[in-house]
Amino acid sequence: MIGRAIRWLSNPGDDPALAVAQVRQMQRQIPLLYGLLLLNASAIAITHFRSAPKLLTLSLPAILLLASIVRMAHWVQVRGSVPTPAEAKRQLQTTTMLAGVLASGYVLWALLLAPYGGAFEQAHVALFISTTVIGCIFCLMHAPQAATLVAVSVIPPYFFFFLFFHESSFAPLALNVTFVLIVLLRVLFRSFDSFRRLVHSQGELSLQTQQMAELAQQNRALAMTDSLTSLPNRRFFCRELELLAGRREHGCRPFTVMLIDLDCFKPINDTHGHQTGDQVLIEIAGRLQEAAEPGRVCRLGGDEFGVLLEMAPADAERIARRVVRAVGVPLIVDDLRLTLAASIGLAGFPHAGGRASDLFDRADYALYHSKRSDRGGISVFTPEMEVAIRADRRIESALLSADLEQELDIKLQPIIDLSTGRVHAAEVLVRWTSPIIGSVPPDQFIPIAERTSIIHTITLIVLDRALQFAADAAPDVALSINMSTCDLSSVDTIDKMIGMIDRAGLASGRIWFEVTETAAMRNFDAAIVALERLRATGARIALDDFGTGHSSLSAMHRLPLDTIKVDRSFILALDDPSSRSIAEAIVGLCRTLGMDCVAEGVESKRQLARLQEMRCDLAQGYLFAQPLDRAKFRALVAEQSPCWVAVDEPRARLNAA
């Protein structure tokens, strides 16, 4: 029992949270304790100054008062600070030790003064000890070990001294004060228990509050994070852009908004499934994070990403080129070799705008321009670009609301057999006349249709019109229909095209499908599958604009091709020896591989003569005819003479039409 009491007295502050709370309360109360000691001790020294020796009225009280002043100054200095648990424990231990020492010193000094003076001075000593110890215990109510040591240091000497003092009237007073102090200690311990429970409950509440704060922070982080790629999301991007624009309004350094869109992602997602698409996005997100440093990459939604770069657009272009290279590296997903490209739009502060919304819109304008004119390229916003894009968006709006069955029409441009001069086939060209904006050239509305996936509907309508025309046209004339990248990558569109061809019941070879090498290379594996399925219906496959791509010989070898169409740039430059040599090589290669060769863009008899010398099979161009409506095309087919007879000027037949 005694050993446990000693351990309790000698080890205050074992509970870290409680120790900190105790010291914080003591910072307010202990200065009052020392103030009480200074006043009461000074008063009793003064009342005994004439009757007691100077050692007891000056020297000893000076030592006690100096020690009290030093401790009082310490507590005033640390008042309001928050100690660590270790610091709090040290302060409690020091306070407990000094409480016993100072209490013993003060009570011994007071009892030495008691015999001096008359009854009033002796009563003052008894009053000094009783009131001072009660006040000290109250001030130490949050340090029960220190309060206990004060009581233990005061009660025995006080009680026994006055119990046997020569004035018997002091004995009941000593007994009374002793009982009061015992009751006061009991109240103090109960009060401290309540204080301890309160501290622990507040600690639990604080822990709950902290946990709730951490949970709220996690929820905020989740709300700002894309769940698939773990990149910041659109909400984070817009918030950071607002903050950046707000800070930069006061003349700080420029910054650039970069928007990135993945070309050919939708066909991959549609062809190979969402799981493959998700894996592609995760891989690309990692590449973007590495390539776009020091900017922070965010996923804005779908296959669109954004980056904020605290640099001018000229410097941001260097980062953009790095991004394009990183995205263009083929990736392997589930044994599939997939290739994507990144189109990028850049808008810089302050030239592209000062507000966050303006900068985002104009970066989007630049991205749109990049996708429309140079897929896989980089565009920096200019005011002229905004004018052009607004016009494109006007076309897009009209296209989205169009009744394409009524508004689309087809034209046919003859493909001539150079050995006979007769019409061998016709390229089917789509024309769109909108009741809202009038006639729109194909090179304007086709890219928009590809971007919005309306191209699938257009392709099916054009194929349907071509099949209807073929049923009534000369049985030896084929019709060639253009296909886009989107068509090649859409299994649903290919299925519908095959169904339409089967129902038409045309002779084998009467339908051709033209695909550019660039379109095929966007998703080469999907293109091979789609073209082989179409070829299985009896259709023929033509590679358009040959010679303008980056891997033409590889494309000729791997794609299921029947016809090669030589790009018009080579035909226009046939007088140049280099271009003529290339054209001759292509014609010879086609003959070796057993493919037909079509020369595009023939406009003069001189070009025609060169092609006949090369033994080119077929040709098309304004020398023979411009794109014709169905009636004029039938009339041209019905003619018995070669198409170039009596043509003196390159565009005579065009002008006549």
Q: What is the mean pLDDT of residues 139-148?
A: 83
DSSP run (H or E) holding 509:
none
Band (478; pLDDT cuts 50, 70, 90): very high
With a cut of 90, say whether residue 433 has pLDDT above it.
Answer: yes
Report CA dihedral (446, 450, 453, 454) to the nearest 10 degrees. 0
Per DSSP, the three-state class of 301 is: strand
Paired residues of 337 in beta bridges: 332
Max avg pLDDT among 1-15, 33-47, 254-268, 286-300: 286-300
The pair of three-digit structure tokens given for residue 190, joined into one six-digit string = 């109960």
State percent of the chain over pLDDT 70.
88
Cβ neighbours for 418, distance < 8 A, ≥ 6 positions apart: 608, 611, 612, 616, 617, 618, 619
Q: What is the mean pLDDT of residues 327-340?
A: 86
User: Considering only CA atoms, which of 388, 231, 203 is closest in space to residue 306?
Assistant: 231
Backbone angles phi, psi at 120, to 5 degrees: -70, -40
- Using CA atoms, how far apart are residues 483 and 518, in angstroms rounded to an integer? 12
With a cut of 90, say whether residue 344 has pLDDT above it.
Answer: yes
For residue 86, is it left (φ>0), alpha (ψ between -120 and 50) or beta?
alpha
**Structural domains in the chain plus CATH codes:** 2-206 (no CATH), 234-381 (3.30.70.270), 409-656 (3.20.20.450)
DSSP run (H or E) holding 484:
none
In one letter, which amino acid is 94? T
State the helix-helix crossing angle for 119-139 and 170-223, rounded to 10 degrees.
20
With a cut of 90, say whether residue 555 has pLDDT above it.
Answer: no
Q: Is the peptide bond before 475 cis (omega within 30 degrees of 0)?
A: no
Residue from 303, 361, 545, 596 carrying the catalytic annotation: 303
- Using CA atoms, how far apart are residues 227 and 211, in angstroms rounded to an integer? 23
Band (21; pLDDT cuts 50, 70, 90): confident
* Catalytic residue flag (residue 303): yes
- Using CA atoms, how far apart are residues 597 and 616, in angstroms rounded to an integer? 6
Q: Is the peptide bond before 350 cis (omega within 30 degrees of 0)?
A: yes
With a cut of 50, say whether residue 61 has pLDDT above it.
Answer: yes
Strands 540-546 and 563-566: parallel
Strand order in the sheet with 304-309: 296-301, 304-309, 255-263, 341-349, 378-380
With a cut of 60, say whether residue 656 has pLDDT above it.
Answer: no
Question: Looking at per-residue confidence, does 70 or 524 come out higher?
Answer: 70
- Using CA atoms, how far apart are residues 646 and 628, in angstroms rounded to an integer? 19
pLDDT in tens, 532-547: 999 999 999 999 888 7
pLDDT in tens, 190-241: 887 888 777 777 665 455 545 565 665 666 666 788 889 989 999 999 999 9
Max avg pLDDT among 162-171, 193-202, 250-259, 326-335: 326-335
Q: What is the mean pLDDT of residues 619-643?
A: 86
How high is the pLDDT of residue 374?
63
Q: What count of residues does the chain have?
A: 657
Q: What is the mean pLDDT of residues 491-511?
A: 91
Give the C-alpha distances (Å, rounded to integers) separating 591 from 214, 588, 598. Answer: 73, 5, 12
Give the C-alpha distances (Å, rounded to integers) separating 444 from 252, 381, 440, 481. Answer: 40, 20, 7, 18
- Using CA atoms, how far apart are residues 284 and 229, in angstroms rounded to an integer? 9
Question: Looking at per-residue confidence, does 489 or 236 come out higher?
Answer: 236
In three-state form (DSSP H/G/I as H, E/B as E, the rest C), the secondary structure along 543-572 is EEEECCCCCHHHHHHHCCCCEEEECHHHHH
Question: 């870290």: which residue's tokens?
Answer: 16
User: What's the whole-number average pLDDT of the chain?
Assistant: 84
Write down the pTM of the prediction.
0.56
The pair of three-digit structure tokens given for residue 632, joined into one six-digit string = 């004029």
- Lowest mean pLDDT: which of 4-13, 139-148, 348-357? 4-13
Query: Rg of the chain's alpha carbons, rounded to an integer?
Result: 48
Q: What is the mean pLDDT of residues 557-578?
A: 87
Max avg pLDDT among 19-33, 273-287, 402-416: 402-416
How high is the pLDDT of residue 246?
80
CA-CA-CA-CA torsion sign (216, 217, 218, 219) = positive
How high is the pLDDT of residue 412?
95
The DSSP code for 115 is T
How high is the pLDDT of residue 595?
92
State the helix-helix crossing angle for 144-163 and 2-10, rounded to 10 degrees.
120
With a cut of 60, say whether residue 551 has pLDDT above it.
Answer: no
